[in-house]
Chain A
Amino acid sequence: MTRFLAPTIATPRPAPQDPRQWHDRLREDLFYSPGATLATLGMLALLAFAGWHLLNWALLDAVFTGTAELSPSDACRTPGVTGACWAVIGDKLRLILFGVYPYAEQWRPAVACVLMIVLYVLSVQRRLWRPSLALIWVVFLGAVIVLMRGGVFGLSSVTDDQWGGLPVTLILSTLGLGMAFPVAILLALARQQRKLPMLQAASVGLIEFARGVPLLVVLFMASVMMPLFLPADWQISKLLRVLIAFTLFGAAYLAEVIRGGLQAIPAGQYEAAAALSLNYAQTMRDVILPQALRMVIPGIVNIFIGFFKATSIVVVVGIFDLMTAAKRAVSDPLWQNAGIEVYLFAALIYFVFCFSLSRYSARLERDLARGATN
């Protein structure tokens, strides 16, 4: 046996170098035919043109602050100013980030945002993918809610109609998805019950309804219809109602992703569990779900990205999230012409979160695929 094995461990060699010179590479990548040369040059000219105009607008001609004589908004409206008016961001930063949260207490939403980001960073560590991660989520989200609401530990009480800006966006997407997760698992399992057609039909009905209707309609239902469905003396705040709507909506989409994972589990796993005489709950908890959920984590991250972007729709039912805060900043008569700048700033915040998450999801997908083939 041993004579077929190499006696020493081979040291890894560096990846082979591209033997082409830079000009060869340039020719082969950009100027490989007359048509390609024309296209490349045309695109370069277009990019240079657009880039120059963008540079002028965004930096060279832009107004960043007011001056000693001029307030920021007057500085933007001076005749002859053709560039962007970034002064609005400085003037409205706290409104855009934290909404109408009491000004003196705005360190609390700031800390809440940091906690959320720490939670994201923890959640993407693969060595923390254990059931105890759920506990970490409960602790962090509980801390965020306590911090925002106050009323304990000497923090002044702030009702949720005063919450606003980035923390609301983060809370809606994260808490909404966190709450949707257990519901989604139940829905996905219910959908698999061939022997219980009633349960299956109820699950399919809920999932297909939520997926067939726009989120906007679901949010309208939560804001105008849900109060009719509940006893008159139940006072549920609008933010909570929207959170419930998000939970149900998200659960439907998540359930379909989880179902994909469940279907990918080979029948042998069920048979092995049955051979060990595990009951249904044990089979699911200890054998099927750990494998199925691990498999669909990239899909869950993608749902989260979609969810994170979709929270912006709450602007329509009057919840104060990042998007609403941006809209509110633009509705100030002083800054009515600064819409493009404010929305670009909000877009940047969304972009940072979504882009890093989507990079992570793509890398994860690659890693898991590689792990599967090895």
Chain B
Amino acid sequence: MTQSRSHSKLRVASAQAVVFAAVGLLLFWLFAITGAELRARGIETGFGFLFEPARTAIANAPFTFTPGVNSNALALIAGGLNTLKISALVIVLATVLGLGLGLGRLSRNRLLRGVCLGYIELVRNVPVLIHISLCYAVALSLPGPRETAPFMGALITNRGFFLPYPAPDMLWLASALTGVLAALGVARWRRHGGRWHPGALVFVLLTLAAMALPWLLLGRAPEMVTPAVAGFRVNGGWSLSPELIAIVAALTLYTATFLGEIIRGAIQSVPRGQWEATEALALPLRTVRRSVIYPQAIRVALPALSNEYIGVIKNSSLAVVIGYQEIVGIGNTVLFDTGQAVEVMAVLAAFFVVVSLAFSALMNFLNTRTAWASRT
């Protein structure tokens, strides 16, 4: 873009100076007023408060957190970990659901297309905060621990979900070992084998069969830790609080609609000539999708997907409305305990900017890996 009207050097320099002076004055004004305001309220500026003991307990701390002993900084770290935990869960689950929705929208089956479109339109036109509140209301309206029967060892109650998890047992280790060996073997066969190329289903079934082999040999199943109702409480098992379930479910259901549309758009963006070329080569449909269409679609979808994923990290801050303590919720608590508004806001902003930048760097790396050299 050429701006043929040539700015004289003097004009450019003076314009620069005006901008510089304006920004400088604005910052000076803000600092002068803020300083006076803070002194008037008796608030000391600085980040010293981070290392003072925290006053308020954390409801969903990922590690044992004792108020009065552990510092505000540790509280914020706990919050940051919770933010990352929600985001990671949502990104994985929403990608799976979004993939289903996106492929469903392109299915030949008209009913499936309709169901996916209906779901997407219904969910994405309602604020995510309403989804969170609704999911929370649903999670709290589940039956109590004493009114429900375990389902496959899991307890689904209004106090949260309690899932069984594997107990320390050598049999699990043996199972994992045979599973990995079988998977490696079949994968090798698929690559170098003769006439027989097992499909994905056969692959999974063979691996599962190999994992069950040690159980059959020893004649017993490995042990699990299962939750049990004791009074009004539930003991044992892997517990997920209703707040965590609500925020993860709501963000997953909401984000998946956007991911689905991105994936659909990316697949549709592959030029028709590519489909026609594969037909001319008489390639089977499965190979066409896996080797021709999807690799090109991923390249188109990745930038938009990474935007959505960063959106998930930012949206996880909405957990504050249902009282799940992620970094914004904890920052808010620290702010009210210490009054250090500017510093806490700076920490929160820095956290999100750093996480977003780190995530974009990761996605950019993936992008360069998936993108091939542009044709000349």
Contact = CB atoms under 8 A, between A and B. Distances in A.
Contacts of A225: 341-342, 345
24 contacts: A29-B110, A29-B111, A40-B111, A40-B112, A44-B111, A196-B19, A212-B352, A214-B317, A214-B328, A220-B348, A224-B335, A224-B341, A225-B345, A227-B37, A228-B37, A267-B2, A270-B4, A280-B5, A313-B318, A316-B318, A323-B129, A340-B138, A343-B134, A347-B134
A230 B140 CA distance: 43
Given A29-B109, A202-B19, A214-B314, A274 B127 contact: no
B109 A309 contact: no
Nearest to A346: B130
Nearest to A231: B33
Interface string A294-332: 000000000001000110110110000001001100100
Q: What bracket does the count of chain B residues touching chain A fall in?
A: 35 or more
Interface in B92-146: 108-112, 115, 121-122, 125-130, 133-134, 136-138, 140-141
In the A-B complex, the 3 residue pairs with the smallest Cβ-Cβ separation, listed nearest first, are A339-B137, A354-B125, A214-B314
Contact of A217 (B121, B130, B140, B328): B328
Interface residues of A, number: 61
B3 interface: yes
Nearest to A354: B125
B239 to A, nearest CB: 23
Contact of A43 (B115, B320, B353, B357): B115
A30 B111 contact: yes
B126 A354 contact: yes
Interface of B: 1-5, 7, 12, 15-16, 19-20, 23, 30, 33-34, 37-38, 40, 108-112, 115, 121-122, 125-130, 133-134, 136-138, 140-141, 314-315, 317-318, 320-321, 328, 332, 335, 341-342, 345, 348-349, 352-353, 356-357
Nearest to B332: A220
Contacts of B137: 330, 339-340, 343
Contacts of B37: 227-229, 232
Contact of B109 (A36, A271, A310, A350): A36
Contact of B352 (A39, A195, A213, A315): A213
Given A198-B23, A212-B349, A358-B125, 20 more contacts: A47-B115, A195-B7, A198-B16, A199-B15, A202-B19, A212-B357, A213-B352, A216-B317, A221-B345, A228-B37, A229-B33, A267-B2, A270-B3, A271-B2, A309-B127, A312-B129, A316-B318, A350-B125, A350-B130, A351-B122
A228 B341 contact: yes
Given A40-B109, A43-B112, A279-B5, A212 B345 contact: no
Contact of A39 (B30, B112, B126): B112
B327 to A, nearest CB: 10
B38 A228 contact: yes
Given A30-B109, A232-B40, A217 B16 contact: no
Interface string A165-209: 000000000000000000000000000000111110010000001
